[in-house]
Amino acid sequence: MREKRVNIFSTIVAVLVMLFLIAPLVVIVIASFTPTAVVVFPPKGFSLKWYENIFSSSTHFMEGLANSLKIGLLATLLDILLGVTAALSVCRHDFKGKNALLNYFTSPMYVPSVAFAFVLLQVYSQIGGVPGALRIFIGHFIIILPYIVRNTVSVLHVFNWTLEDAATSLGANPVQVFFKITIPVARPGIVAGALLAFLYSFDEVALSSLLSTPKFITLPIRIMNYMELTFDPTLAAISTFLIAGSLVLIVLMDKFVGLDMFVK
């Protein structure tokens, strides 16, 4: 009997926690379809007009989305080149200061982004005339590198380097070994790191808000600015839009590399 009571108790706690996690999202998604000028729940009627508002040029959301995608994708792609090479060199060779170097590569993760943004601002003002897109790009490029390095290293730590010898003995030259063996085996780590890095960049507020110029503003900053002035269901609509986007990304990810990479 006692055991059963414990079970019911933990079930209730578990259900409550899950509700707590999902309920706000559900409320926002449903409320985004309201025709009223303020967010109400449950919505009074059904309308897609706030969704239209996302796409209208007056909100600049689409422009922000494009900026965010540009920065995020470019920074992630370049960081894959940089981060994977860094991870490979640290993992492949045994040398003094190996861990120190690895910590150095991942250090941007431990620096508060506000402090980091302040430093960058100082540098930019010394140089002068750095365009807005570049200001944000450099910041994101540095701050997301650790995610790619760390996830790649976590795969390479257990990488069986004999695989490279085996491929070599079968006639694969160093370039073939790299692209047919090393990269495919390390791919789950690289993809997981790239995804986390991209999402971090896409979602980044602190750094971007300090570095952005009126001419180049990313989506999160656009949303924040909009929120300060107006508080209409457009915000619920754009939130729903972003939630759906993340969901699609997660489903794709699970299909191609499996999500167990993130649970480790």
Partner 1 sequence: MATLELIGLTKRFGNFTAVDNMSLKADDGEMIALLGGSGCGKTTTLRMIAGFAEPTEGRILVDGADVAKIPPYKRNIGIFFQNYALFPHMTVFENVAFGLKLQKLKKPEIAQRVADILSLVKLTGLDERYPRELSGGQQQRVALARALVTRPHILLLDEPLSNLDAKLRIEMQVEIKRIQKGLGITTIIVTHDHEEAVSLADRVIVMHEGKIQQIGSPNEIFERPCSAFVADFMGFSTFIQGTIGPAEGEMRPVTCSGKLLYVPGGAAEGIAPGSPVTLAIRSENLQLVEEEGENTLSGVISAVTYKGTTTRLEVTGCVAETVCPAVNEYTQRQLGEPVLVHIPAQRICVYKNV
Alpha carbon separation from 9 to 16, 19, 22 (Å, rounded): 11, 15, 20
- Burial readout 68-88 (b: 16 or more C-beta within 10 A, e: otherwise): beebbeebbeebbeebbebbb
Determine, following the binding rule CB under 8 A, whether residue 93 of this chain makes contact with partner 1: no
Residue count, binding to partner 1 (CB under 8 A): 19
Beta-carbon count within 10 A of 50 CB: 23
Nearest CA among 151, 7, 129, 138 for reference residue 74: 138
Determine, following the binding rule CB under 8 A, whether residue 48 of this chain makes contact with partner 1: no
Determine, following the binding rule CB under 8 A, whether residue 257 of this chain makes contact with partner 1: no
Determine, following the binding rule CB under 8 A, whether residue 167 of this chain makes contact with partner 1: yes
Write each residue from 115 to 154 as x if it is in contact with partner 1 (CB under 8 A), else as -, in one continuous string.
----------------------------------------
Radius of gyration of the chain (CA): 23
Place of tokens 């620096």: 111
* Of 54, 102, 134, 181, the one binding partner 1 by CB under 8 A: 181
Question: For partner 1, which is the closer residue by CB, 52 or 260?
Answer: 260
Beta-carbon count within 10 A of 258 CB: 13
Interface segment toward partner 1; rule CB under 8 A; list 34-42, 118-126, 180-188, 235-243: 180-188
Question: For partner 1, which is the closer residue by CB, 131 or 184?
Answer: 184
Give me the residues that bind partner 1 (CB under 8 A), please: 160, 162-163, 165-174, 176, 180-181, 184-185, 187
